[in-house]
Amino acid sequence: MTMAGTELVLAQQAVAAFGCAPGSRVTFVTRRENHVFRVANDDGDWALKLHRPGYRTDREIESEAAMCELMASAGVRVPVPVRSLAGPYVAHVGAEGEAWQATMQAWVREASPIGDSADVFLGESRPSDGTLRDFGRTMALMHRCAETAGTPEGYERPAWDAEGLVGEAPVWGRASELPALDDGTRSLIRAAEERLAHDLRGLERSARSYGPIHADLTMENVLRDEAGLVVIDFDDMGEGWYVFDIATACFFFTNHPEAEAMIRELMAGYAVERSLAPQDALAWHPLLLARALTYLAWSVERPDEEATAFHIAELVPRIAVAARNYLETGHTGWADLPVSA
Residue 341 within any structural domain of the chain: no
Looking at 66, 81, 106, the residue that finishes a domain is: 106
Looking at 87, 106, 125, the residue that finishes a domain is: 106
The Cα–Cα gap between 81 and 103 comes to 8
Looking at residues 307-333, what average pLDDT do you find?
98
Residue 67 within any structural domain of the chain: yes
Looking at residues 37-65, what average pLDDT do you find?
92
Residue 134 within any structural domain of the chain: yes
Contact 82, 104 (CB under 8 A): yes
Phi-psi region of 23 (alpha: psi -120 to 50; beta: other; left: phi over 0): left
Residue 338 within any structural domain of the chain: no
pLDDT score of 142 more than 70: yes
DSSP strand E in the chain: where? 25-31, 35-41, 44-50, 81-82, 91-93, 100-106, 112-113, 159-160, 210-213, 222-225, 228-231, 238-241
Residues 289 and 320 both lie in one domain:
yes
Looking at 53, 86, 106, the residue that finishes a domain is: 106
What percent of the chain shows pLDDT beyond 90? 86
- Sequence-distant (6+) residues with CB within 8 A of 327 are 188, 191, 192, 195
The Cα–Cα gap between 269 and 258 comes to 17
Residue 34 within any structural domain of the chain: yes
Q: Sign (positive/negative) of CA torsion 147, 149, 150, 151?
A: negative
Q: What is the tens place of the pLDDT at every residue in 202-248? A: 999 999 999 999 999 999 999 999 999 999 999 999 999 999 999 99
Residue 337 within any structural domain of the chain: no
Residues 12 and 123 both lie in one domain:
no
Residues 166 and 307 both lie in one domain:
yes
Residues 213 and 272 both lie in one domain:
yes
Judged by average pLDDT, the poorest of 6-10, 123-127, 164-168 is 6-10
Contact 128, 219 (CB under 8 A): no
Residues 121 and 69 both lie in one domain:
no
Residues 99 and 116 both lie in one domain:
no
**CATH number for the domain including 190?**
3.90.1200.10
Residues 94 and 133 both lie in one domain:
no
- Please give the residue range of the domain that contains residue 252: 112-329
**CATH number for the domain including 24?**
3.30.200.20
- Sequence-distant (6+) residues with CB within 8 A of 87 are none
Please tell me the total count of domains within the chain. Answer: 2
- What pLDDT does 330 receive? 97
| Helix/strand/coil for 107 | coil
Residue 227 within any structural domain of the chain: yes
Residues 88 and 160 both lie in one domain:
no
- What pLDDT does 119 receive? 97
- What pLDDT does 54 receive? 84
Residue 340 within any structural domain of the chain: no
Residues 174 and 264 both lie in one domain:
yes
DSSP strand E in 42-163: where? 44-50, 81-82, 91-93, 100-106, 112-113, 159-160
Residues 64 and 174 both lie in one domain:
no
- What pLDDT does 1 receive? 35
Residues 282 and 240 both lie in one domain:
yes
Residues 35 and 127 both lie in one domain:
no
- What pLDDT does 33 receive? 75
Q: What are the angstrom distances between the C-alpha of 267 and each of 110, 139, 142, 144, 294? A: 27, 10, 14, 14, 23
pLDDT score of 321 more than 60: yes
Looking at residues 284-296, what average pLDDT do you find?
98
pLDDT score of 3 more than 50: no
